Structure 1
Amino acid sequence: MEPQAQQSNTPARAALNAGLVIGLVMLAINFIIYFIDYSFLVAAWYGISILVIFFALVIYFGSQYRKEIGGYMDFGAAFQFSFVTLIISGLISTLGNMLLYFVIDPGLPELLVETQLENMVAMLDSFGAGDSISGDQIDEMRSEMANSFTIAGQFKAFGISLIVYAILALILGAILKKRDKTKDF
């Protein structure tokens, strides 16, 4: 009975559950924001808010897992938990975005590209650099942004995200680790 209980407490198994929950929460938030106003999906405040919620949820579930396994977790287990959680939730979010972009609203990527371009030009104008961008440069940016909303672009972004997830998992692992100081001699 003990080996079965021990197996269910592995960082990877706990991370699968946490990643699934976090991915579904992020997906639900994304769809709610889409139904409220699609332009919020490319707003800076939305990206920052999602990042804060994402970090908070990983730390919450990591703390719960640490509590579940006795209150202590070494860095390796904390890193593994964080990395697997980020991968699973990122994969769910990517698949959900693809569902939104290619099935639910195939015209959305074009609208998001235009909104993103408008936001960028407005930001450059506020810095006084809006006039320095040529029409060709804007067309090139539009093309690059549009490519990020293709199926290949989504998988490429997820691949790049794996590197970012590894770095974030290092940070989250450092936050979540807690060593048992009674074992120090």
Structure 2
Amino acid sequence: MQAAVKPGLTIGLISLAITYLAYFIDSSLLASGWFGLVSLVIMAVLLIYFGTQYRTEIGGFMTFGTAFNFSFIAMIISGIVGLIGMLLLYQVIDPSLPQLLADEAFQTSLKTMESFGANPDALPPAQLEEMRKATADSFTVIGQIKGFGFLLIFYALVALILGAILKKRDKSLDF
């Protein structure tokens, strides 16, 4: 666990720096799907880099369990740093940003529905309003904390993949 703290903090701060940079360039970037995908790729690359460094430090070999634990704990720490940074951004730095992002995310959802052939205008107004409210609620403090809870499940899945990538067994022990 201790080995994952520094990489987790580093990845969290890098992720936060990218998020704040995107905010200062154009805050609507934060609501785009590709921004989340790019952030995920950067996190995975950094985890592989730090994981291979850790594997070298411990003798060049690492079991799947150790690799999984390293990746998962680093992502949890990174996620906590990101959560704190986002709460600061949404609640202190720019309290109007959550509503802007909620509106942007709602519009993106409607466009996505249209791209799959659904007509958002055919939905009852109450259902559209419920969608809008659910989107806005995801940017509140409670919504962010709930989102982090669901993110832990995603982190576990990514850690399984990274554990498989980072593991390396000592074949000289085979007989």
Say whether the fold is shared (TM-score over 0.5).
yes
Corresponding position: 1:31 with 2:23: no
Contact 2:103 2:136 in 1 (8 A): no
Render the CA deviation track for 1:56-81: whole Å, top value 9, x for unaligned: 11111101111111111111111110
1:129-168 equivalences in 2 (<5 Å) = 129-130=118-119, 131-168=121-158
- Answering whether residue 60 of structure 2 is matched by residue 60 of structure 1, we say no
Residue 103 of structure 1 and its aligned partner are, at CA, apart by 0.3
Alignment partner of 1:85 is 2:74: yes
Distance 2:149 2:115 in 1: 33
Residue aligning to 1:99: 88
Q: CA RMSD in A?
A: 1.1
Counterparts of 2:10 and 2:43, CA distance in 1: 11
TM-score with structure 1 setting the length = 0.90
1:44 aligned residue (24, 33, 51) = 33
Q: Given the alignment of the two structures, is residue 178 of structure 1 paired with residue 168 of structure 2, yes or no?
A: yes
**Amino acid aligned to 2:60:** G
Deviation per CA, 1:65-109: give whole Å up to 9, x if none: 111111111111111101110100000001100000000000000
* Structure 1 residue runs of 4 or more that deviate by more than 4 Å after TM superposition: none
> Does structure 1 conserve the Cα–Cα contact (< 8 Å) formed by 2:8 and 2:74?
yes
Letter in 2 for 1:76: G
Question: Which range moves more in the overlay, 164-173 or 32-41?
Answer: 164-173
How many residues of Structure 1 are paired with residues of Structure 2 in the alignment?
Answer: 174
Structure 1 counterpart of 2:11: 22
Aligned counterpart in structure 1 of residue 99 of structure 2, from 101, 110, 132: 110
Distance apart, 1:159 and its partner CA: 1.5
Output the CA distance in 2 between the equivalents of 1:135 and 1:37. Answer: 30
Residues in 2 aligned to 1:124 and 1:169: alpha-carbon distance in whole angstroms? 31
Cα distance in structure 1, aligned partners of 2:64 and 2:118: 45
Matched residues, percent identical?
54
CA contact (8 A) 2:12 2:82 kept: yes
What amino acid does structure 1 have at the position aligned with 2:164?
A
For 1:25 and 1:153, locate their aligned partners in 2 and report how far apart those are by CA, in whole Å.
23
Unpaired segments ≥5 residues, structure 1: 1-11
